Chains A and B, each alone.
Chain A
């Protein structure tokens, strides 16, 4: 059977390694194998010490994102035959600190995500007996694409602004904030806008656009950020011209 070489970044701080090294593994090249299947083959058959995250194998859980030949990819959705003859370089997601091998620390994103309040905010909660907050299909379409985010972090790995300045809130968090801003059931636009208009918020973005290119779910975080910029600028102008109306 045909083989393909996976050149995998290994970082083993327990073994006194101070920086990652690339190690070659030959795995079978099967037409139905994704990069993740190759990694699982290494783990099961060649070297059980290799560490990486994965779960669903169907592009939903968002845990198997890695740099494949320098590009941020979901390894379950990137097929080995498309990368033949290889070798295929597999590294941990860029712009995040590496814990071990292909595993990165996402704590920074978790803090940023909760800081933009990605949940429905209501001024007055309606009593349960009044039923659900209703929404038309057209209202759903307004935000649906932004709700497809699976928090896989490929957009952060593709974003040079985040790579250069780690304090930037970043694409996925802003896209998710925007998702709730566009939701007809939500009343928290102002609260979120105040957070997003901070120096580390939307204005850090220089519209490289690579976040949207990298997204495996068709979300357009770059578009969301620019739309949030426009909203923030409009709010600022309104409060400047009509100070008695604001807040």
Chain B
């Protein structure tokens, strides 16, 4: 139940393209959109696993599909979005996580360096796995 005074309030609605009017909002929407590309990478990985399980013919056919120029372009776009997703996620970590060591607060920069060091370590391990294979 609203009062007669409240009935005269002017209520504004957010325009449909609210995110297009400001750079920071646009970057935010791109970051949200990047989740779809992260999902795409996961789907591709699952398809790869399925093709591998089905034998050499299915695996070769999967590789052929992925080598199509359209797929390469799509995957390059996806890679750009996944990098945006990962980098913005990593950069926000120190604000979300307060880390304490021996009762002292670890400075944001050190937390951030830790996140990137961990990322680098996992990447190096995966690269080693690929090369060793």
A residues at B contact (CB < 8 Å):
11, 13, 19-20, 70, 94-95, 97-99, 105, 160, 163-164, 206-210, 213, 220, 222-223, 226-227, 229-230
Verify A227–B96 contact, CB threshold 8 A. Answer: yes
CB proximity of B119 to chain A, nearest CB, Å: 19
A residues in contact with B98, CB < 8 Å: 227
B44 → chain A, closest Cβ, in Å? 26
**Contact: B96 with A229, CB < 8 Å?**
yes
Which B residues are within 8 Å of any A CB, using their own CB? 5-6, 8-12, 14, 18-19, 21-22, 24-25, 28, 32, 92, 95-98
A164 touches B95 (CB 8 A): no
Contact assessment for A19 and B25 in the assembled complex, using a CB-CB cutoff below 8 Å: no
Q: List 27 A-B contacts (CB under 8 A).
A: A11-B10, A13-B8, A20-B10, A70-B22, A94-B12, A95-B14, A97-B9, A97-B11, A98-B9, A98-B12, A99-B9, A105-B6, A160-B19, A160-B25, A164-B14, A206-B28, A207-B92, A210-B25, A213-B24, A222-B95, A223-B95, A226-B92, A226-B95, A226-B96, A227-B95, A227-B97, A230-B97
A-B contact count (CB 8 A): 60
| Min CB–CB distance A143 → chain B (angstroms) | 11
Given contacts A105-B9, A160-B14, A160-B18, 18 further A-B contacts (CB under 8 A): A11-B10, A13-B8, A20-B10, A70-B21, A70-B22, A94-B12, A97-B6, A97-B12, A98-B11, A105-B6, A160-B19, A163-B14, A164-B14, A209-B24, A210-B28, A213-B24, A226-B95, A226-B96
From A70, A95, A160, residue with most partner B Cβ within 10 Å:
A160
Give the chain B neighbours of A94 by CB distance below 8 A: 12
Which A residues lie within 8 Å of B96 (CB)?
Answer: 223, 226-227, 229-230
